[in-house]
A and B are shown apart, each in its own frame.
Chain A
Amino acid sequence: MAELFAAGQQPEVLFWVGCAGSFDDRAKKITKAFIKILNNANVSFAVLGTEESCTGDPAKRAGNEFLFQMQAVTNIEVMNAYGIKKVVTACPHCFNTLKNEYPGLGGTYEVVHHTQFLKQLLEEGKISLEGGTYKGKRITYHDPCYLGRANNVYEAPRDLIRKLDAELVEMKNCKKKGLCCGAGGAQMFKEPEKGDKDVNIERTEQAMETQPDIIAAACPFCNTMMTDGVKNKEKEASVAVMDIAELIATAGDL
């Protein structure tokens, strides 16, 4: 972003990579897949790079409002200085925080999730999905809480899966009733409380009931949780956990 700005250019959209997308090995692949699509579709975009910092979501959900607002105000200063208008992110937690909680602190942008953005690219004909790599594959989609219930985005990711010519199979708990993967509310960063089972195992079992070839996710944290769940069930050879962006980037004709 800094370079574009120095050159006096303004990108169409800022890609907010997020902490997972920047540092987590699995999530970095999602970041790259998404970038591949953006480049392919000739979207003018930029990233903040080292000027990006955690949105503060995990701090806020852990109860540290102070740290959250410090993060938010710092990020807002950076984005406002660059005159950012539109933001896309592949992380529903960043999406929710940027979209809903930043405006009250002086950061108002048009914020979209990457599934919404991809759907729009498809509708505008900037990407096409005729490849057929996933033709006939059984794909079940796991709703991230912060995309689904929190922000009522249920259909964009599903539309994309259908466009892949894949067979979309729903779990018994889906959409509004989707079961959490267990990572939200800062759970990702701590050991779970005592119980009979981990939440991601429960959710993976629900996914397995649909006998999928692929479990599609739209959140880097859900991705980790479901991947761990599949490993726990020793099914990693037959069931892949993939982000929607990865599905599209590998659909064949990109």
Chain B
Amino acid sequence: MDYLPNILFAIILLFGLGFFAKNVQRLVRNIKLGKDVDVSDNKSQRWKNMARIALGQTKMVVRPIAGFLHIIVYVGFIIINIEVLEIILDGILGTHRLFSEPLGAVYNFLIGSFEILAFLVVVSVVIFWIRRNVIRLQRFIKPEMAGWPKKDGNLILYIELILMFLFLTMNGADYQLQQMGAAHYASEAGILGSFPISQFLSPLFDGMSISSLIVVERTAWWLHIVGILFFLNYLYYSKHLHILLAFPNTFYGNLKPKGQFKNLEAVTNEVMLMMDPSADPFAAPAEDAPDPEKFGASDVVDLNWVQLLNSYTCTECGRCTSECPANQTGKKLSPRKIMMDTRDRLQEVGENIEANKGSFVDDGKQLLDDYISREELWACTSCNACVEACPVSIDPLSIIMDMRQYLVMEQSAAPSDLNNMMGNIENNGAPWPFNQMDRLNWAQES
């Protein structure tokens, strides 16, 4: 027996998985650049959210058409992966349909349902493509989608389409070979697997010799598995990373009421000190006092790691942006762009670290201004529509708020109207220039 294909396969597999491991390493390193945040509370609720939102896709179906099609592709993806296990083992061991014997009749049922799923995936993917490229749904053609994001979206669809076709071609040729009694393919137990979809490919194979059919079957088999390995490694460069990260992301998603913004601890300490009548306002800071913390965020490293995880999880679906009141009324702000910018900048910082042997060398750029403009930040009404809309529990609003904090507390760079408002609160206890002592006047007016 010739072991060359087995060995070649093992090498390709190791190479593919090795490269993937490297990408995972990069991903973890980049996410860990974020500040620490305590998300260890309420584990049971977190598991439930993950099961409901990521596994159960509950938020996807808020938009029924996209949600339904997505579930098909998602279920197809997960279930057909069971078949990939067999494909890998067949590849290493040089066997043919290894699972057919132990699984018996169940095997036929499984292969049959994989085929039907594969077909449904093809249909869904085609509809997805039409929505993006023919119907050109609003949310897929916003400015931030120009260039790579648009290509990425389509490329994923093409890859999925090709993989499904290869899978079906492989099965179809296999079926034909089994019927023809070809050595290695045909089994004494009869036909292995059932082929409700790929049987329709038979006419294509009519009149082909066993040897050319084997070439077809092998080619499809190889391309299919190599394609899967390629896809696995494509994830890191693509919005498709969500198929993995949606799970941790929904797990670590916010559990508090959406209106509750976190109180900055560093500020609390200062405020308490100021309010404490016994504190000496002129006391020199203690020798070992840590450097005063930077308030808010001007770059990705000022964000916390959950926010960075958010950015890698973003599927660029644009549901957030399409619900955003600022975006709907033609403002520059797009919550999706906030997430995409954060990821792009994080990626840039990660590459910088790699190029400089493990430490970041200042590149004179930051998330603020170089990626996200002040105009975008100030257009937000903090309405939480984006947070509500996101199918994978991403919170673009928290990044906007952190960046506003940087602008106001580190740079005193609020729009002048807001400075007036804040001045009023400071002096009169109200956002308007009214005297605090007049606060009860309404009771006297009739």
Residues on A lying within 8 angstroms of B by beta carbon are 17, 19, 21-24, 28, 31-32, 47, 49-50, 52-54, 56, 58-67, 69-71, 73-74, 77, 96, 99-101, 104-105, 145-146, 149-152, 176-180, 182-199, 201-203
Nearest chain-A residue to B407 (Cβ)?
Answer: A63
Decide if the interface of chain B is mainly helix, strand, loop or mixed.
helix
Note all chain A residues with C-beta closer than 8 A to B295: 65
Task: Confirm or deny: B430 has a beta carbon within 8 angstroms of a beta carbon on chain A.
Answer: yes
Tell whether, in the assembled complex, residue A50 and residue B439 are in contact, meaning their CB atoms are under 8 Å apart: yes
Note all chain A residues with C-beta closer than 8 A to B259: 96, 100, 145-146, 149-151
| Cα–Cα distance between A74 and B436 once the two chains are bound (Å) | 14
Tell whether, in the assembled complex, residue A179 and residue B385 are in contact, meaning their CB atoms are under 8 Å apart: yes
Tell whether, in the assembled complex, residue A198 and residue B329 are in contact, meaning their CB atoms are under 8 Å apart: yes
Which one of B258, B329, B379 has the highest number of Cβ atoms from chain A below 10 Å of its Cβ?
B329
Task: Confirm or deny: B358 has a beta carbon within 8 angstroms of a beta carbon on chain A.
Answer: no
Tell whether, in the assembled complex, residue A195 and residue B330 are in contact, meaning their CB atoms are under 8 Å apart: yes
Tell whether, in the assembled complex, residue B431 and residue A54 are in contact, meaning their CB atoms are under 8 Å apart: yes
Note all chain A residues with C-beta closer than 8 A to B422: 58-59, 62, 64, 67
Task: Confirm or deny: B347 has a beta carbon within 8 angstroms of a beta carbon on chain A.
Answer: no
Proximity string of chain B (381-420) to chain A, C-beta cutoff 8 Å, 1 when within and 0 when not: 1111101110000000000010111111100001101101
Task: Confirm or deny: B328 has a beta carbon within 8 angstroms of a beta carbon on chain A.
Answer: yes
- Known contacts A66-B267, A193-B331; 13 further A-B pairs (Cβ under 8 A): A19-B431, A24-B432, A31-B442, A32-B442, A59-B421, A59-B422, A63-B403, A64-B408, A150-B258, A179-B328, A183-B381, A184-B382, A189-B431
CB distance from B295 to the nearest CB of A (A): 7
| Cα–Cα distance between A202 and B388 once the two chains are bound (Å) | 20
Note all chain A residues with C-beta closer than 8 A to B387: 149
Task: Confirm or deny: B271 has a beta carbon within 8 angstroms of a beta carbon on chain A.
Answer: yes
| Cα–Cα distance between A56 and B417 once the two chains are bound (Å) | 16
Given contacts A61-B382, A199-B325, whether A100 and B430 have CB atoms under 8 Å apart is no
Tell whether, in the assembled complex, residue A100 and residue B257 are in contact, meaning their CB atoms are under 8 Å apart: yes
Task: Confirm or deny: B434 has a beta carbon within 8 angstroms of a beta carbon on chain A.
Answer: yes
| Cα–Cα distance between A104 and B267 once the two chains are bound (Å) | 12
Pick from B375, B383, B439: contact of A23, CB below 8 A: B439
Tell whether, in the assembled complex, residue B445 and residue A63 are in contact, meaning their CB atoms are under 8 Å apart: no
Note all chain A residues with C-beta closer than 8 A to B408: 62-64
| Cα–Cα distance between A152 and B384 once the two chains are bound (Å) | 12
| Cα–Cα distance between A165 and B270 once the two chains are bound (Å) | 53
Tell whether, in the assembled complex, residue B329 and residue A195 are in contact, meaning their CB atoms are under 8 Å apart: yes
Task: Confirm or deny: B135 has a beta carbon within 8 angstroms of a beta carbon on chain A.
Answer: no
Note all chain B residues with C-beta closer than 8 A to A178: 385
Tell whether, in the assembled complex, residue B375 and residue A194 are in contact, meaning their CB atoms are under 8 Å apart: yes
Pick from A50, A64, A105, A185: contact of B381, CB below 8 A: A185
